[in-house]
Amino acid sequence: MAGKRFTWWRSNGSAMSRIDRFLVSEAWLLRWPNCSVWGMDRSLSDHCPITLINKAVDWGPKPFRMLKCWR
């Protein structure tokens, strides 16, 4: 898990927990093999949400943009 070491901790630091697992199928892993787990910042809850992110995203070639004032 990247981003956070623990997904829950007590305010005084006496107890910490790390829940960093997702349930996925083998077909899912074959389609998206470069996934990782990312720990986000906590807000209202006392637990940090975790997100499954696909690192290898190919958006294709970046379009060239030109402003009219550059001519």
Inter-CA distances, 41 with 13, 50, 69, Å: 17, 9, 42
Residues 23 and 55: their CA atoms lie apart, in Å, by 18
- Within a domain: 61: no
15, two tokens: 């107890």
Domain that holds residue 22: 8-54
Q: What DSSP letter does each residue of 41-68 carry, written as one string?
A: PP-SSSB--EEEEES-----SPPP---G
The total domain count for the chain is 1
Summarize pLDDT for 5-47 with one digit per residue, the tens.
Answer: 777 766 776 777 777 677 888 898 888 888 888 788 877 777 7
Whole-number pLDDT of residue 6: 74
- Within a domain: 22: yes
- Within a domain: 63: no
Per the listing, tokens 């005084």 go with: 12
